[in-house]
Amino acid sequence: SCLSFKLLGILDVRNVPCAQESILYGSLGSVVVGLGHFLATSRIKRSFDFGMGGFVLTTLGCWMYCRYNHAKQRIQQRILERGIRNKLLFEGSDLDPGRRKNSSQGISKS
């Protein structure tokens, strides 16, 4: 089993959805922005500052995008579970919407 990694001692990266990917992409963004700025200007300190900014912006951007999609997926899953539960609960009863539609059209199931 792998050891858990806590960021700043509070955020357990392994158990928080989207944290691992956000930090990974943030690190990559930091290297790309910092190295790109260094190759363009040859200024070390300024390139480090740009790299840190790239890390923060990339990490936050990936975090927000991933959390939005995660929340949207959870909502869709809840709606689907509720629909399945209602289908199982009301199937064949007078409250079944499919049965009401078929009985009003004069169609009966055998």
Per-residue pLDDT tens digits for 85-101:
888 887 777 767 666 56
pLDDT of residue 3: 47
Tokens of 95: 């409250």
pLDDT of residue 1: 38
Q: Are 14 and 59 in contact (CB under 8 A)?
A: no
What is the pLDDT averaged over residues 2-23? 70
Nearest to 37 by CA among 29, 26, 57: 29
